[in-house]
């Protein structure tokens, strides 16, 4: 009994800390999630009733095709800021509140994450890139 009590007292600060960590983590994830989901909602589902399922191959050709890779939310390079490891590497649409970062107007600063549009096949996607030097 005594032993258990002291242990629980000992654990108290850790519990508090871990609870805090969970809350902070959840907030971060929620912000990022709503950010990505919103982009997906506009890019992948016009109706907000679920995302489009990506077909296993193109639907509009019988013969030759090359399936373009559309990696989902994968981390960028190791050693990047933590945000880069949780942000979506590829977005079909830019999130809100992005500002143009360079003269050509092809790099966007989205809350400190930098995106650049590329053609993947015939689709334009915005890909996470290194911050401009």
Partner 1 sequence: MKIKRRLPLFRITYLVSVLSVAFVATSAQPADVEPKADQVLRKASDFLGTLKQFKIDADSTSDHLLSTGQKLQHAEGVIVSVQRPDRLRVDIKGERRNLQLIYDGKKVSLLDTTRNLYAQTAAPATIDAALHHAVDNFGIRLPLSDLLYTNSYAVLSENVESGFYVGKSEVRGVKTDHLAFRADEVDWQVWIEDSRTPLPRKLVITLKWMAAAPQYTVWLSWDLSPKWSDNLYTFVPPANARKIDFLPVQQNTPPKR
Give the shortest CB-26-to-partner 1 separation in angstroms: 23
Name the region of 58 (left: φ>0; alpha: ψ -120 to 50; beta: rest). Answer: beta
Closer CB to partner 1, 39 or 128, in the complex: 128
Chain-centre distance for alpha carbon 128: 9
In the range 39-98, which residues lie near partner 1 by CB under 8 A? 45, 47, 49-53, 55-69, 71, 74, 76-77, 89-90
Closest approach of partner 1 to the CB of residue 95, in Å: 15
Taking the C-alpha atoms of residue 5 and residue 24, their distance in angstroms, rounded to an integer, is: 29
Quick check: 54 and 70 in contact, CB under 8 A? yes
Interface residues with partner 1 (CB under 8 A)?
A: 45, 47, 49-53, 55-69, 71, 74, 76-77, 89-90, 104-107, 116-124, 127-130, 132-133
């Amino acid at each position: 009994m005594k032993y258990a009590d002291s242990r629980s007292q000992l654990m108290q600060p850790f519990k508090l800390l871990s609870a805090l960590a969970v809350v902070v983590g959840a907030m971060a994830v929620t912000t990022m999630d709503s950010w990505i989901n919103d982009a997906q909602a506009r890019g992948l589902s016009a109706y907000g009733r679920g995302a489009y399922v990506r077909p296993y191959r193109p639907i509009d050709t019988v013969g030759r095709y090359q399936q373009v890779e559309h990696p989902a939310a994968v981390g960028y390079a190791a050693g990047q800021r933590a945000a880069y490891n949780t942000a979506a590497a590829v977005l079909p649409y830019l999130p809100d509140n992005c500002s143009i970062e360079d003269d050509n107007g092809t790099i966007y600063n989205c809350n400190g994450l930098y995106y650049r549009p590329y053609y993947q096949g015939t689709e334009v996607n915005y890909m996470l890139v290194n911050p401009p030097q």
